[in-house]
């Protein structure tokens, strides 16, 4: 059944009807039995009463005036030898019963009679008192109908009240349904339904929480797409402008310069797009369950060294790994670890002043993996905003996409990692801090 | 006409300098708010200002300038093409607005338009008697016949024709035709005036001794 209300109503109404019908049947049955018993009792009383009258077996047959009950009750008085001594008015002439003492039923003159025969041996008479069975059945039927009619009206009234009751009881559900129906398909507002019954409160809470989560996710996604689009506008504007210059320039040197700019701008834009994709992939990871696999640290460091070796060599700044813990493994996706470490190394190579870039690690309260360079690092006033997407350090006008640290953050957060910065005597350190329960040694 | 350009993206900056150069503008490029502040804005006929800069918002700089009483026309550039940004920019005193990416010719046309309006004219053509100067095509016509002029000759003629009768000094004219990086030849203005007189007739440009030059109010 599709409607909860209908289902509930059918259930309650069905059970009620069943009990009702049972009770009614019982009442009818016992009433009928009781009526039969009472009427039989009356027959016996009447027969004895008649027998007690002063009637002799050879007395003249008396024909009393017909009474009001003559149609129902008939009385015959027979002598023991079979002569009719007397009878009530309208009583049939033939004997109503065979003559034995007690109850019997017989058809006389096309009608069924229930008869009580009283044999009085002292007086030599046999008194037969009969009840017209048809009249008796009519009586019982009328009685039953009298009982059933109010019952039927009661059933209808009960059904109506049950229906109203069920509807009233389910009204909060209907309110929530209406509230859901009234929402526009894209709406993620919380359900503004009050009051909520306690049975439905967890449902409404769960839905509101889901709406809120979806809303946050959708907003983040929209912001991300909007930011990405805005970030792409500037390099695209540069490309378009340079292309126009190349088309209109009459001076070959000018055209050559414009084409060169276009080339480098395409490289930069494609790096931006690649980083956007990386960021999207890392952020998508957030919803995945924690990786059961462990990534070997020395493995990841070796890969980062390989990847950025040529860039380091080109800028004459070696990557030095000063990490004694070769046996450490971290519960993080290997690709994510390489990505995070690689982005920090690339940052250090690009903005980290001069001198080597060091990868260090320390096992204490937490496991800390740091990338240290000899540069200025991030200015104090930039610390708060630098992790946000598309935020570059103050005064940085070239190169960076403003996504590197966002990628690092997104890559390590699912594994419980935290990105921190520290300025020390040896330079500026970007640290990846992992809780010890995420780290395995040996 | 000298324009100040404030844009942090190197490729775009370089492209605008080259592109507006092709349209007859002299562009002085800077990359940050700090550099822009350091530049005296009075020298420039107009400013092209990017909103998103590494050391702050171009809108703040614009508001600063306007508070300081500068009336130099400003055209805003921005990657965030939101109505609220546009409204905010215009309300803070910008004269026009262009979203990235844009067409260089549109940028040039809008610049010409706001510079024209700043000098109190509505039409893109200047007419002085038989002489017609078209800004968009950078062409000069005398009695309907087109006359070839160089970029700098056009700039000087345009400067003088904007307000006929007003005297412009040699250094004012030099400011109109040279950017920062360019070497100014000592008698360049005289040479250009001489050539213009040869093409348009001596009486069109008058010399005011000791002060400079002016356009004859025909």
* Ordered DSSP codes for A142-187: HHHHHHHHHHHHHHHHHHHHHHHHHHHHTHHHHHHHHHHHHS-TT-
Residues of A with Cβ-Cβ distance to B99 under 8 angstroms: 233
> Residues 302-321, chain A: which have Cβ within 8 Å of B?
none
Q: How far is B100 from chain A (nearest CA, A)?
A: 5
Which range has highest mean pLDDT (A82-96, A185-199, A277-291, B146-160)? B146-160
- Reported as half-sphere exposure (CB side, CA atoms, 13 A), residue B155 has a value of 23
Span A382-398, average pLDDT: 65
Residues A258, A302: one domain? no
Residues of A with Cβ-Cβ distance to B79 under 8 angstroms: 230-231, 233-234, 237
Residues B79, B156: one domain? no
Q: How far apart are the first and last CA of chain A?
A: 61
Contact B19 A398 (CB under 8 A): no
Tokens for B124?
């893109």
Q: Distance between alpha carbon B35 and the CA centroid of its chain, in Å? A: 20
Contact B14 A248 (CB under 8 A): no
Q: How far is A239 from chain B (nearest CA, A)?
A: 7
Residues B111, B7: one domain? yes
> Which residues constitute the domain of residue A114?
4-163
Residue B61 has pLDDT above 60, yes or no: yes
Query: Chain B contact for A27, CB < 8 A?
Result: no
CATH number of the domain enclosing A369: 3.30.565.10
Q: Which residues contact A304 (CB under 8 A, 6 or more apart)?
A: A319, A338, A341, A342, A345, A359
Does any domain span residue A197? no
Tokens for A357?
């870039």
Residues A10, A158: one domain? yes
- Considering A148, A163, A178, which residue would you say is the last residue of a domain? A163
Residues B162, B100: one domain? no
Residues of B with Cβ-Cβ distance to A271 under 8 angstroms: none
If you measure CA to CA, which chain B residue comes closest to A260?
Answer: B11
Span A83-88, average pLDDT: 83
Q: How far is A397 from chain B (nearest CA, A)?
A: 6
Residues B135, B111: one domain? no
What's the structural domain count of chain B? Answer: 2
Q: Which residues contact A410 (CB under 8 A, 6 or more apart)?
A: A279, A282, A283, A285, A286
Residues A268, A304: one domain? no
Pairing verdict, β B46-50 and B74-78: parallel
8 Å CB contact between A61 and A86? yes
Residues B154, B107: one domain? no
8 Å CB contact between A228 and B2? no
Q: What is the pTM of this model?
A: 0.59
Beta-bridged to residue A363, according to DSSP, are: A367
Lowest mean pLDDT: which of A332-346, A393-407, B164-178, B189-203? A393-407
The confidence band for B16, taking pLDDT boundaries of 50, 70 and 90, is very high
Residues B89, B195: one domain? no
Nearest to B54 among A230, A264, A397 (CB): A397
Q: What is the pLDDT of residue A60?
A: 52
If you measure CA to CA, which chain A residue comes closest to B99?
Answer: A233
Residues A15, A158: one domain? yes
If you measure CA to CA, which chain A residue comes closest to B10?
Answer: A398
Nearest to B19 among A233, A241, A397 (CB): A241
- Considering A239, A265, A283, which residue would you say is the last residue of a domain? A283
Torsion (CA) A336, A338, A342, A345 in degrees, nearest 10: 120
Residues of A with Cβ-Cβ distance to B81 under 8 angstroms: 233
Query: Chain B contact for A13, CB < 8 A?
Result: no
If you measure CA to CA, which chain B residue comes closest to A241?
Answer: B15
Residues B180, B77: one domain? no
> Which residues constitute the domain of residue B48?
2-118
Tens of pLDDT, residues B70-80: 889 999 998 87
**Which of B5, B9, B11, B52 to substitute to test the interface with A, most A CBs within 10 Å?**
B11
Residue A394 has pLDDT above 70, yes or no: no
Residues A14, A60: one domain? yes
Pairing verdict, β A328-330 and B52-53: unpaired
Residues A244, A298: one domain? no
Does any domain span residue A436? yes
Q: What is the pLDDT of residue A427?
A: 82
- Considering B61, B90, B118, which residue would you say is the last residue of a domain? B118
Residues B6, B113: one domain? yes
Spatial separation of the C-alpha atoms in residues A234 and B101, rounded to whole Å: 7
CA B101, B102, B108 angle in degrees (round to 5)? Answer: 150
Q: Which residues contact A399 (CB under 8 A, 6 or more apart)?
A: A268, A350
Residues A276, A318: one domain? no
> Residues 75-94, chain A: which have Cβ within 8 Å of B?
none
Span B176-198, average pLDDT: 80
Residue A217 has pLDDT above 60, yes or no: yes
Nearest to B32 among A237, A262, A395 (CB): A395
Distances (CA, A) of B28 to A140, B41, B48: 118, 11, 10
Residue A68 has pLDDT above 60, yes or no: no
Residues A375, A402: one domain? yes
Contact A235 B102 (CB under 8 A): no
Tokens for A425?
């005597």
Q: How far is A420 from chain B (nearest CA, A)?
A: 23
Residues A13, A69: one domain? yes
CATH number of the domain enclosing B131: 1.10.10.10
Query: Chain B contact for A404, CB < 8 A?
Result: no
Q: What is the pLDDT of residue A70?
A: 44
Does any domain span residue A294? yes
Contact A397 B10 (CB under 8 A): yes
Read out DSSP for A263-291?
A: HHHHHHHHHHHHHHHHHHHHHHHTTSPPP
The mean of the pLDDT values for chain A is 82
What's the structural domain count of chain A? Answer: 3
The confidence band for A72, taking pLDDT boundaries of 50, 70 and 90, is confident
Spatial separation of the C-alpha atoms in residues A373 and A317, rounded to whole Å: 10
Hey, is B77 helix, strand or coil?
strand
Does any domain span residue A373? yes
Q: What is the pLDDT of residue A252?
A: 92
Span A375-380, average pLDDT: 75
**Which of B7, B18, B33, B35 to substitute to test the interface with A, most A CBs within 10 Å?**
B18
Query: Chain B contact for A400, CB < 8 A?
Result: no
Residues B12, B104: one domain? yes
Spatial separation of the C-alpha atoms in residues B99 and A237, rounded to whole Å: 9
Spatial separation of the C-alpha atoms in residues B115 and B47, rounded to whole Å: 10
Query: Chain B contact for A237, CB < 8 A?
Result: yes
Residues B138, B194: one domain? yes
The mean of the pLDDT values for chain B is 86
What are the two backbone dihedrals, phi and then psi, of residue A188, each rounded to the nearest 5 degrees? -125, 25
- Considering B57, B90, B118, which residue would you say is the last residue of a domain? B118
Residues A320, A409: one domain? yes
Residues B110, B157: one domain? no
Tens of pLDDT, residues B121-130: 777 788 888 8
Tens of pLDDT, residues A133-179: 888 888 888 888 888 888 888 888 988 999 999 888 888 888 888 88
Residues of B with Cβ-Cβ distance to A234 under 8 angstroms: 9, 12, 52, 79, 100
Query: Chain B contact for A227, CB < 8 A?
Result: no
Q: What is the pLDDT of residue A58?
A: 60
Residue B40 has pLDDT above 70, yes or no: no
Contact A245 B101 (CB under 8 A): no
Query: Chain B contact for A247, CB < 8 A?
Result: no
Burial of A65 (0-12, 13-18, 19+ CB in 10 A): exposed
Q: What is the pLDDT of residue A1?
A: 57
Residues A270, A308: one domain? no
The DSSP 8-state label assigned to residue B168 in this structure reads B
- Considering B118, B147, B177, which residue would you say is the last residue of a domain? B118
Residues A245, A378: one domain? no
Residue B5 has pLDDT above 90, yes or no: yes
Span A410-419, average pLDDT: 86
Higher pLDDT, A193 or B44: B44
Does any domain span residue A268? yes
Spatial separation of the C-alpha atoms in residues A364 and A208, rounded to whole Å: 42
Contact A233 B81 (CB under 8 A): yes
Does any domain span residue A217? no
Residues B8, B113: one domain? yes
CATH number of the domain enclosing B88: 3.40.50.2300
Q: What is the pLDDT of residue A67?
A: 47
């Amino acid at each position: 059944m599709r409607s909860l209300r209908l289902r509930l109503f059918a259930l309650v109404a069905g059970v009620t009807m069943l009990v009702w019908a049972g009770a009614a049947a019982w009442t009818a049955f016992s009433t009928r039995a009781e009526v039969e018993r009472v009427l039989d009792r009356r027959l016996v009383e009447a027969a004895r009463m008649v027998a007690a009258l002063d009637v002799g077996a050879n007395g003249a047959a008396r024909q009393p005036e017909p009474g009001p009950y003559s149609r129902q009750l008939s009385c015959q008085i027979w002598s023991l030898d079979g002569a009719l001594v007397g009878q009530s008015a309208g009583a049939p002439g033939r004997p109503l019963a065979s003559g034995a003492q007690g109850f019997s039923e017989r058809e006389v003159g096309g009608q069924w009679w229930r008869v009580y025969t009283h044999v009085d041996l002292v007086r030599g008479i046999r008194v037969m008192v009969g009840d017209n069975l048809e009249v008796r059945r009519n009586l019982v039927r009328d009685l039953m109908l009298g009982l059933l009619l109010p019952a039927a009206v009661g059933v209808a009234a009960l059904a109506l009240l049950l229906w109203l009751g069920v509807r009233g009881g389910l009204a909060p559900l209907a309110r929530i349904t209406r509230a859901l129906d009234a929402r526009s398909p894209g709406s993620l507002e919380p359900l503004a339904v009050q009051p909520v019954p306690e049975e439905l409160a967890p449902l409404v809470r769960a839905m509101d929480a889901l709406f809120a989560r979806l809303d946050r996710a959708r907003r983040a996604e929209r912001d991300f797409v909007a930011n990405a689009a805005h970030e792409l506008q500037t390099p695209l504007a540069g490309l378009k402008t340079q292309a126009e210059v190349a088309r209109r320039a009459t001076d070959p040197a000018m055209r050559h310069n414009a084409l060169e700019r276009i080339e480098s701008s395409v490289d930069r834009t494609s790096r931006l797009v690649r980083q956007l994709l990386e960021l999207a992939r890392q952020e998508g990871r957030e919803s995945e369950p924690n990786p059961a696999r462990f990534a070997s640290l020395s493995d990841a460091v070796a890969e980062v060294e390989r990847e950025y070796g040529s860039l380091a060599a080109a800028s004459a700044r070696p990557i030095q790994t000063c990490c004694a813990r070769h046996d450490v493994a971290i519960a993080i996706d290997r690709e994510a670890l390489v990505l995070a470490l690689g982005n920090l190394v690339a940052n250090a190579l690009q903005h980290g002043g001069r001198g080597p870039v060091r990868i260090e690690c320390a096992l204490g309260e937490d496991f800390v993996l740091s990338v240290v360079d000899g540069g200025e690092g991030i200015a104090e006033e930039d610390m708060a905003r630098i992790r946000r997407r598309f935020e570059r350090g103050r005064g940085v006008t070239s190169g960076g996409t403003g996504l590197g640290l966002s990628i690092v953050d997104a890559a390590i957060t699912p594994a419980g990692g935290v990105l921190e910065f520290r300025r020390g005597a040896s330079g500026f350190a970007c640290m990846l801090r992992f809780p010890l329960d995420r780290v395995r040694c040996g | 006409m000298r324009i100040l350009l404030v844009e942090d993206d190197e490729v775009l900056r370089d492209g605008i300098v080259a592109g507006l150069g092709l349209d007859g503008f002299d562009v002085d490029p800077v990359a940050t708010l700090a550099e822009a502040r350091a530049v005296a804005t009075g020298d420039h006929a107009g400013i092209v200002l990017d909103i998103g800069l590494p050391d702050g918002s171009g809108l703040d700089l614009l508001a600063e300038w306007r508070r300081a009483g500068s009336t130099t026309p400003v055209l805003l550039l921005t990657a965030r093409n939101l109505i609220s940004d546009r409204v905010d920019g215009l309300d803070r005193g910008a004269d026009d607005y262009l979203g990235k990416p844009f067409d260089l010719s549109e940028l040039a046309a809008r610049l010409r338009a706001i510079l024209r309006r700043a000098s109190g004219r509505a039409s893109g053509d200047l007419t002085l008697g038989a002489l017609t100067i078209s800004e968009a095509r950078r062409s000069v016509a005398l009695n309907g016949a087109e006359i070839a002029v160089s970029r700098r000759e056009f700039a000087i003629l345009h400067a003088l024709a904007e307000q006929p009768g007003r005297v412009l000094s040699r250094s004012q004219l030099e400011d109109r035709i040279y950017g920062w990086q360019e070497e100014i030849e000592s008698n360049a203005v005289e040479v250009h005036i001489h050539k213009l007189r040869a093409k348009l007739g001596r009486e069109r440009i008058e010399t005011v001794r000791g002060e400079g030059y002016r356009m004859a109010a025909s």
